[in-house]
Amino acid sequence: MTDQANAAIESALRTFEAEAGGVTALAASLKSDLGPAFAAAADMIRKAKGRLIVTGLGKSGHIGRKIAATFASTGTPAFFVHAAEASHGDLGMITADDVIMALSWSGEQPEMKNLITYAKRFRIALIAMTAERDSTLGKAADVVLVQPRAREACPHNLAPTTSSLMQLALGDALAIALLEGRGFTSVDFSVLHPGGKLGALLKYTRDLMHSGDAIPLRPLGTKMSDALVEMTSKGFGCVGVIDGHGHLVGIVTDGDLRRHMRPDLMTVRVDDVMTKNPKTIGRDLLAGEVLEILNSSKITALIVTDGKKPVGIVHLHDLLRAGVA
């Protein structure tokens, strides 16, 4: 690599080191002075009858928008109000039942003044996320999340880099603490994330599987020639084998055909070729979990069962079409 490329990599490593140091300092503070305030903030947000209002401006405002989005997507109703716009009518978005969380590294932005006054006037709970406990914002807040001092990754110690990451990390920590505290599940998550790849991952097997006559099945005792016709016509690269009660007892795959390749293969019974007790899934399994099973087992299809009876089949291509993989 060129000297310029090496210099860029060295710069990136210094940035990672500086920002990692900031998060490490934040974790250490959480184990001491910051801990009680963090717990109080989480409790205040949890007990709020209204929503969490996240506010800030500049880089803190950008981080605040992300924090508000994370809270909202993990079960805590929240939205962002820009601190400057609040003084021009957006204060009307905030009610007495809400909790305000204001982000400001210095705690001294003039634009925060009207918002602080409004919170005090209507007795709205105020959480401050700042590095200065004795700042105007810190003194006005009901709970102060004091962030430890850390050097910015910027060589001039000016551009908000490490400090922004620390704000984001602390916001994420609060959101996840509340998520875990209320028992927010993947099912709850799917309700709030119906679109995109996340929405696809949160679909269920029952939403993707083929059922009825589309399932490739043949009974015990079937000749391999007939099983191959079934496998080929259904197009899943396998055929399930069922017993007299309709229970799945085996599966014949492309791999089984290769392993048992011999001149008389088409005349033998599926009983002698099939893989017994094949891996199966239930219809209520999340698509993301189905993909994990397919990848870890190095297979391309899974038969869906209800008890021991096959009720569907899911192929890797179904997951691809749904946007899961």
Q: Which residues are annotated as part of the binding site for Zn(2+)?
A: 82
What is the C-alpha to C-alpha distance for residues 29 and 33, in angstroms, rounded to an integer? 6
What does the DSSP assignment read for 52-78?
EEEEE-THHHHHHHHHHHHHHHTT--E
Element holding 158 (H helix, E strand): none
In sequence order, what are the beta bridge partners of 126? 100
86 vs 82: CA distance, rounded Å: 6
Cβ-based neighbour number of residue 36 at 10 Å: 10
Q: Per DSSP, which regions of the chain are E strands?
A: 52-56, 78-82, 99-103, 125-130, 143-146, 217-219, 238-242, 248-253, 275-276, 280-281, 301-306, 309-315
Question: Hey, what are 41's tokens?
Answer: 């903030």
Pick out the residues of the known binding site.
82
SS3 state of residue 154 = coil
